[in-house]
Homo-oligomer: A and B are copies of this chain.
Amino acid sequence: MGGGFAGLQAARKLARAPVTITLLDRHNHHVFQPLLYQVATAGLSPGDIASPIRWILSKQQNVRVLLADVAHVALAKRQVYLEDGVGIPYDFLILATGAAHSYFGRDDWQSHAPGLKTLDDALAVRRRVLLAFEQAERQPDPERQRHLLTFVVVGGGPTGVELAGTLIEIARHTLRREYDTIDPESARVVLIEAGSSILGTFPKPLRDSARRALRRLGVEVWENATVTEIEADAVHVGGDRVPAHTILWAAGVAASPLARTLGVPLDRAGRVIVEPDLTVPGFPNVFVAGDLARFTHQTGNPLPGVAQVAKQGGAHAAKSIRRRLKGQDALPFHYRDMGNMATVGRAAAVADLGWLQLTGFVAWLFWLFVHIFFLIGFRNRVSVLLQWASSYLTYQRSVRLITGPSPDSDVTPRNSAGC
């Protein structure tokens, strides 16, 4: 399984079923991924958007949680093998190991342009962004300073739009007046999208609204712009070389490599091509949910890798298992699209509910409500609300801490002494 949206939802929906569940995850916590960009941009603490899986499921009697790395799955033997060789037999299996970044075959780009999938990713991005301002403050050469203060976000989907909007807010508002030699307002944020428009999955009026809002904030939005090369300190777009100290990756995802151990057909992104009931072809007792599944039976296009698809997929797998235990047939999965949302910087957003399209402040309020509502854990909700209220009123971002090992060279906190 997995402790993401799909795995957790499946475990919960099996709470009263006559089964014993083993939930395997290599992290001890569930992350509310839609808010990961807030951790990366120092608006929230990791603890605000993550909860221990054990704690979430502690009231549920029929589930056992193990912190474990899964090495491979032997479908024919009905066994999941852990890293240390231990095999766990199963009657039913729900695979929901999610996705990682995809650099389209250019894995060498990964170290230059980190992505955003886990809490550790988010903390690394936070560190990189905050250090860029600190290094610029100590840099006398104006050109090198401009280079340090250039931020490039590759990929104009919701995550890219949210990162770019928040970065410009940090530079223009949060850090204003805190530095002497640099003017954080001169920071440059470039959002690069290969397709014809940012937020390609949204209706045109919302795409236009988001683009206008980003440009008003000061973000440079480049569309139809293909990244051809990424170096440690520059991005090549078409024939141009754009020098930038901080490059963030929000472009592609690939299914977790576990899928390759199954020996079943995968799509180009490494996802398992599932049957209409979300099972693996030939293995009706194995379900795939969330980002790991490629499901095209409903609209012809694969379902997107969002929380809703994962939750509904997990719930469907649980329901199918309950039906099968009663001797009934599994039903085909039917995804109910509740809409799409993305925030655009401070107090603006776009929301597409199908029957209603919202933009600006109203959309942002709606976004706020929905995200607070779905956050797991009451303590988290109160804390997040408080921090948002405070940062909205004061333009401050409370978690501007540089911690952890440094990927950089210049200003490196180390074990040696300092002042």
**Chain A residues within 8 Å of B, Cβ to Cβ:** 1-2, 24-29, 45-48, 50-52, 54-55, 58, 64-70, 80, 83-84, 86, 95, 97, 100, 119-120, 123, 130-131, 134-135, 137-138, 175, 177-180, 256-258, 377-380, 382-383, 386-387, 390, 396, 398-405, 410-414, 416-419
29 residue pairs of the A-B complex, CB under 8 angstroms, read A1-B419, A25-B418, A25-B419, A26-B413, A28-B130, A45-B45, A45-B48, A46-B401, A47-B399, A47-B401, A50-B401, A51-B398, A55-B178, A55-B396, A67-B131, A67-B138, A67-B411, A68-B138, A69-B414, A70-B419, A97-B418, A119-B401, A256-B417, A257-B416, A258-B418, A379-B386, A382-B386, A383-B383, A383-B386
- State the oligomeric state as a number of copies: 2
- Which residues of B are found within 8 Å of A67, using beta-carbon distances? 131, 134-135, 137-138, 402, 411
A86 to B52, CA, bound (A): 46
Once the chains bind, are B382 and A417 in contact (CB under 8 Å)?
no
Min CB–CB distance A22 → chain B (angstroms): 10
CB within 8 A of A398: which of B47, B135, B399, B412? B47
Min CB–CB distance A328 → chain B (angstroms): 28
Min CB–CB distance A270 → chain B (angstroms): 10
Min CB–CB distance A94 → chain B (angstroms): 10
Return the chain B residue nearest A94 by Cβ: B419
A396 to B138, CA, bound (A): 43
Once the chains bind, are B68 and A411 in contact (CB under 8 Å)?
yes
